Amino acid sequence: MNISEKTIRVGIVGGAGYTGGELLRILLNHPNAEVAFVHSSSNAGNALSDVHTDLFGETDLRFTDTLNDAIDVLFLCVGHGKAAEFLAKNANAEHVKIIDLSQDFRPETDGFVYGLPELQRERIRTAHKIANPGCFATAIQLALLPLAKAGELSEAVHVSAITGSTGAGQSLSETTHFTWRNNNISVYKAFQHQHLTEIRRSLQQLQSGCDAAIHFIPFRGGFTRGILASVHLTSHLASNEAAALFANYYSEHPFVRLSEINPDLKQVVNTNNAILHTEKHGDQLLIVSII
């Protein structure tokens, strides 16, 4: 059966958070997807639209605290550490494919495949278990994968990247309160962000032995959604050579767009698109990546 003719039944665990809500908005409007259940122990019995108010009038589904295997795909939208715990406690039918949105299986443990299409689309197509990449990791990898593929990562990479408040999840903390976040900016986890591990692994997959240092400074921004990463490194590539390298690498990846002018975050917010821009200043190659 052609995939365009098949309805894919989907179950969601942890559907009350930000990732669950965004996933629901995508799936409810997908012509080949049917949401079979949305699991949330704390919201069982409540309408989805009571939690995700923008879904009012879109669905009559309610949260449930039970699971069933009459699905094709199970999405795990629970917090870091909880996905592995859930799978350890709940057996899943062999036919059910699993897509985890946490960081638990990004090292490709327990049969999971790292789910960045621009890195390994063919492996993802046949995978039974997929680990979704991190947000900062996605933006930074998109800026560096073409260079790694060409063996051009030999110098230290410097990254400054800023993220919106939803990247921290729905749980309240001092740095997610509106009164703290609004009109504010701060650095956190400088040079030691957890996404560095998966970034390095992917780069070494494309450029064997790549040991270029990655100096990454993350910022919390006073806006809601999106990430902008500014990446620069010393490079012998001319401006037109770098542009051609990126164009060739992303020629078959339709969600990655290349811009001749500096992009801004509003161009990608609420879309599945990424925009990249390259420019050369002396011996410095700059890549701007927004998702």
d(CA 230, CA 29): 33
Q: Which amino acid is at 174?
A: E
Q: Which residues of 150-168 are buried (b: 16+ CB within 10 A; e: fewer)?
A: bebbeeebbbebbbbbbbb
Q: Of the residues 47, 124, 135, 258, which is catalytic?
A: 135
Catalytic residue flag (residue 135)? yes
Cβ burial 21-35 (10 Å sphere, 16+ → b, else e): bbbbeebeeeeebeb
What's the DSSP call for residue 82?
H
Round to the nearest angstrom and report the end-to-end CA distance of the chain: 34
d(CA 26, CA 272): 10
Can you state the angle between helices 239-249 and 135-149, rounded to 10 degrees?
A: 110
Catalytic residues: 135
